[in-house]
Structure 1
Amino acid sequence: MNYNTFPEWSQEVKRLNGGIGVDVTLDIAGTDTIEQSILSVKQHGFVGLIGLMTGTQLTIDLIPLITNYVRLLAYSVGNAEELHNFVNALEKNLTQPVIDSVFPIEKVQEAFQRFNSGKAFGKVVITF
């Protein structure tokens, strides 16, 4: 969603999704976007905070979280050195992910059905 075109982009998200919001929002910015991320999910939705590009200080209204049963979870992904060390360890040990299946983006629903079926062994990959 282009936040320059839609400063209150949660309203546009809901408009595009029949007025009910979306299941999941992944927020990479933090301070400047978290409120819109929370407002864009439907009841029982999930907001994953995975970045803090615009800051770490949050002042948000908790009512949308509470009244809509929104789950908010922050993730830490480490720093560049940790990523470099991790990638080196994977390469050194010839570690390869186990891939169960690969789906083109046009078949994203089938990919999620495969994932949710519990029958996948390894990663279910969606390609663009």
Structure 2
Amino acid sequence: MTQNTETAEDNYRAAFERLKQGQSNVVPRGTPVTQNNVAREAGREPDAFKKTRYPALIREIQAHIEISAQHKEIKNKRRERRHERQDLVTKAQRYKKQRDEAQSRLVSAHRAVLTLLREKAELQRRLDEYLPPLSPLWNS
């Protein structure tokens, strides 16, 4: 009977290791590590994998689950920060593009104003050619 318990625990431990490494044989790859999934991966019923029979292994599994949860939380926070940074970079690029377009419009508007001022000056010069000079009487 001692041999069966050791063999079962060895099976559970091997299944636990396979699940941790993501190289399961029975359950689909990438299945999260849980007490029930370790039992399934070992080819046993989850009800047979009891804390009273395998307390050390179950504590290891629970510790791994807790550490993994913390690790996942840290990863998620990093991923969120990375997305926030990417969003900020995207916003900055969009604002730079808007700024460049606004500067382009401003330069075009300045060019149009200069063209109109030159045209006005030319028209004023031509008009002055057709008008007689003002007499001294009009200046007083």
**Relative to total residues, which structure has the larger helix share, 1 or 2?**
2
Both proteins in one fold, TM over 0.5? no
TM-score interval, normalised by the smaller of the two chains: under 0.3
Q: Give the TM-score normalised by the residue count of structure 1.
A: 0.22
Higher relative contact order (CA 8 A, sep 6+): 1
**Relative to total residues, which structure has the larger strand share, 1 or 2?**
1
